[in-house]
Chains A and B, each alone.
Chain A
């Protein structure tokens, strides 16, 4: 019998995974690129474009302790960055060490709904171009709020957010918000509203109808005097929706070999550049929830 167990054991060894470091040079494309990132919105207080490098994931050692060293490896500080509109109005963006990005005031180029904007970035002798269009702002957000205690006695607030989709075209939305719970004596605290994956909404199969999502926040068992909730709906370009969603899903699924890796789209026209230059319109609404007397 011992021999059989030994044989089983030997067989089991074969099942045990063997891990080996392999040379990635011939397997992965590791060509360096310029990475450009910027989102435009009529609600912007600053126009901001970040220009950096995308470097090979293998063969780029990074400091474990000093993030600034790492940032300096990536950031491109000597680029020429301009944004223009369809009328040919142009604004130059200058590099800001504080923002680690190229910035300009929106007063120099107003960002308007339904308008198209063009980005030009020149790094050394290479030019990179992209364009975006600002989606319409969602007119109105409605909400339904219910305060209750669950079976375990936990006090909760469920907030259902709704708005009307624009009919006739594919639309993309990102939802979010904050809940500030205020007490009389105790210090207030802030919860981010979590709509799970429903925070990324499309009108696929629901064009022109009401779209909604629901969020539940757990309240402390002490009596609060008020909850101030900021509801946010961003009507975004498809590219921005897909990009943020892919990034979020990749983080969520990291290490899971059974989930396909998501490809974040980009709209930089030139081969050696990647990134996102996209528009959005933000609608916000603040509501106050007070406990029933």
Chain B
């Protein structure tokens, strides 16, 4: 593989001799288009984001989401460079005398240590792309870095990048540039994933084994994305090996996962199937003391299935599915009765996509998508003897169903423009509460509360190369939302631009407006399954944001380092929050069958987020990794909260540092370490105490007959910033290649290696002085920490 520096040197010398520059502008230049697909050698997997570049002409393009590219060039002989992260760069000569269909097969560079593990927009050079505030993550890195309990986690890996912050210790919930988790659009093969967490956020739902690509946008959003204020996380599943059967089995401390992929009809149809299940409930059984007939536990599962069929070189079909589930269960049985209680939540997504290539310059994809999230509690009690005949059935659930039709076009009219346009429409069906209650001694309750709305958009964007130095990426999105008789129509302009001062140094800027029509009601702010998605209504306006970012991107070509520095300012309007003390999911309400008055309980306000992010990466060599730093502020103001005063949001963090290192001294060993430091989260805790308000008000609280002498209180929201957190994670992997391309990997990791007691939450507790006369009581601040020094291992077998 040639060093990128050589490319640049060639480029710089070519600049003086570019044939295009010598041509008289009035002379007609004969141009032809090369187009086709770029695939992975051995599997036939289409590769997205591959760079196709003609250095002499300083012209290039990248493959779209389905591996298709189109590049229009002058007639003649050209040397084309095809490069992609983790793959050997190819240089090919082509004599272009007519429009040409040219599909390319790339081989992985896994045999080489010159492996690029992370890159932005699929190229190694940050200064070469117009897009800013985005990162493409190679799934390989997710495998290499230390993992919590052996679970390779996409979202936790993203948290190591500047601007993407984790929530509480161990959580896969994340906050992007001062936003909230519901402001992140997480898309798996075109389908929105509403709850991306397992086990209250300790793990994410994305099983790294089936993932082909992860792309995160923090700002400068392309017009094709919309519907959320703060980020887009686009995750693409593999299509399945079209050439041969292959697979992988991983056995970890808490789960086992397996992947199987292969051709159904060689070269035409392929499938990929992956599954994961935790077995903590099974392993824990011997340790749980239980009565006869009792059974209980918790597990989560993930199941991905995808079929890819090639009808012809111009028509392809993809059907991808995801099913994930968390479940707590408790069953008991005795002589008189049997009882079964279950609490579960999960996502189902199904995406049917049809690619059609109209011409060598026009490519289209049409998708039909179903996406579902459901949280439910079921309880069944059945009396089985003459002494116990009181049957009881209780079911409550909440959730959302989305039905989506979307179509996207890629049009490459010439080598200056890469245009995308399309339309999308989503029917949202929200069920804030469904309740079924059957009891021998009471009237049955069977109620369903439903909200239906339609969200649509059309968009147009163009990656436009104005000169060799200046690229702009304008876009416009027109979004529409309908709820009953209420309609919201919003125009969302987007613009990104990049100016190359030098070939390896670019100044960048971007502006984007976003609207969010659906909202997550969350009492906790940490992403519990009980949190509820609801629609904008005539009373609840859409959330809006405007974000401005500027930055520089510098590639240090001799040493394969890159540096990006970005500053951003984001203003958010009509963001929602619960009113003081409001929570509709107070458990005494669950069985009432009353409609949830969620609109009455929320209030709208505004938010500001601003900061600076620095990312310094080393991408090639035995030692790779990055250093990320974020300096940020995130503030909110609601007329009805905190006395109308501005306050710092819960996850407002002044400093976030992450250091990631992956060292591969030989093909047999991978050593990795990550170290993170972040300023503490904000909490609201009583800091003062006063005498209890006397009963001067004539209407008493009916439930309060006894009150203490004093009452603790706080006079401002998030009045207390927790202590700084930091931890070191370590990992080592031993690889052994066997015959027939088989490989086994032993991986060991330690989470929080120096057992730092990072705050999970804070509380106040009483302390007593028994020596005092009279005996006194005081309060003390308690920090609860979890996840100290967690070792884990996993065994993986690839075939």
Contacts and interface: CB of A to CB of B under 8 A. Distances in A.
Contact of B580 (A10, A75, A240, A249): A249
A20 B767 CA distance: 13
Interface string B734-755: 0000000000000000011000
Given A21-B782, A204-B600, A248-B701, A27 B694 contact: no
A109 to B, nearest CB: 17
- The interface centre, meaning the residue of B686, B688, B777, B786 with most chain A CB atoms within 10 A of its CB, is B688
Interface in B245-284: 253, 283
A234 B698 contact: yes
Contact of A263 (B523, B704, B715, B783): B715
A37 B572 CA distance: 37
B580 A262 contact: yes
A261 B686 contact: yes
Interface stretch (A111-119, A125-133, A220-228, A251-259): A251-259
Given A27-B723, A57-B688, A57-B779, A263 B580 contact: yes
A74 B690 CA distance: 7
A14 B788 contact: yes
A152 interface: yes
A194 B693 contact: no
A32 to B, nearest CB: 8
Nearest to B644: A265
Contact of B778 (A5, A62, A74, A175): A62
B760 interface: yes
A55 to B, nearest CB: 6
A205 B790 contact: no
B539 A205 contact: yes
A11 B442 CA distance: 47
A261 B791 CA distance: 36
B581 A33 contact: no
Contacts of A28: 685, 687, 719-720, 781
B704 A250 contact: no
A205 B538 CA distance: 10
A88 interface: no
B697 interface: yes
Interface string A55-88: 1111111111111011100110000000000000
A136 interface: no
Contact of B581 (A30, A54, A63, A246): A246
Contact of A14 (B713, B763, B783, B786): B786
A14 B640 CA distance: 40
A20 B783 contact: yes
A282 B688 contact: no
A97 interface: no
A174 B698 CA distance: 10
A273 to B, nearest CB: 11
Range of interface residues on chain B? 35 or more
Contact of A22 (B689, B779, B783, B793): B783
A187 interface: no
A58 B779 contact: yes
A145 interface: no
Contact of B694 (A50, A194, A249): A50
B702 interface: yes
Range of interface residues on chain A? 35 or more
B442 A151 contact: yes
B684 interface: yes
A284 to B, nearest CB: 8
A106 to B, nearest CB: 14
A250 B780 contact: no
Nearest to A232: B699
B687 A11 contact: no
A264 B689 contact: no
Given A194-B703, A263-B684, A57 B760 contact: no
A151 B715 CA distance: 47
- The interface centre, meaning the residue of B286, B699, B712, B769 with most chain A CB atoms within 10 A of its CB, is B699
Contacts of A280: 697
Given A27-B721, A263-B714, A10 B691 contact: no
Contacts of A185: none
A194 B149 CA distance: 49
B711 A261 contact: no
A89 B472 CA distance: 70
A10 to B, nearest CB: 7
A16 interface: yes
Contacts of A262: 580-581
Contacts of A290: none
A108 B760 CA distance: 56
B701 A259 contact: no
A273 B588 CA distance: 37
A205 B599 contact: yes
B333 to A, nearest CB: 26
Contacts of A21: 767, 780-783
Interface in B674-711: 684-691, 693-694, 696-704, 709-711
A282 B714 CA distance: 29
Interface in B563-603: 578, 580-583, 586, 588, 599-600
B777 A61 contact: yes
B774 interface: yes
Interface string B217-248: 00000000000000000000000000000000
Contact of B764 (A37, A57, A69, A177): A57
A260 B525 contact: yes
B485 interface: no
B653 to A, nearest CB: 16
A152 B441 contact: yes
Contacts of B762: 22
B776 interface: yes
A250 B277 CA distance: 39
B691 A69 contact: no
A242 B774 CA distance: 37
Given A30-B688, A259-B583, A61 B696 contact: no
Contacts of B726: none
Interface string B82-94: 0000000000000
A27 B790 CA distance: 28
A258 B685 CA distance: 13
Given A18-B788, A67-B709, A259-B583, A29 B719 contact: yes
Contacts of B441: 151-152
Contacts of B777: 61-64
A165 B711 CA distance: 33
A254 B581 CA distance: 11
Contacts of A250: 581, 713
Contacts of B330: none
A55 B685 CA distance: 14
Contacts of A205: 539, 599-600
B722 interface: yes
Nearest to B686: A57
The 5 closest A-B pairs by CB, nearest first: A249-B581, A176-B699, A262-B581, A61-B776, A258-B524
Interface of B: 149, 253, 283, 286, 441-443, 523-526, 528, 539, 578, 580-583, 586, 588, 599-600, 640-643, 684-691, 693-694, 696-704, 709-717, 719-723, 751-752, 757, 760-764, 767-769, 772, 774-793
Given A7-B253, A61-B776, 18 more contacts: A18-B784, A19-B782, A19-B785, A23-B781, A27-B722, A28-B781, A29-B719, A37-B694, A57-B687, A58-B780, A60-B689, A62-B710, A62-B776, A174-B697, A234-B698, A250-B713, A262-B581, A264-B713
26 contacts: A7-B793, A14-B789, A17-B785, A19-B784, A21-B782, A22-B781, A27-B720, A28-B781, A37-B693, A54-B690, A55-B688, A58-B779, A62-B710, A62-B776, A75-B691, A150-B442, A174-B697, A176-B702, A192-B702, A244-B697, A246-B581, A248-B581, A248-B701, A259-B581, A261-B714, A262-B581
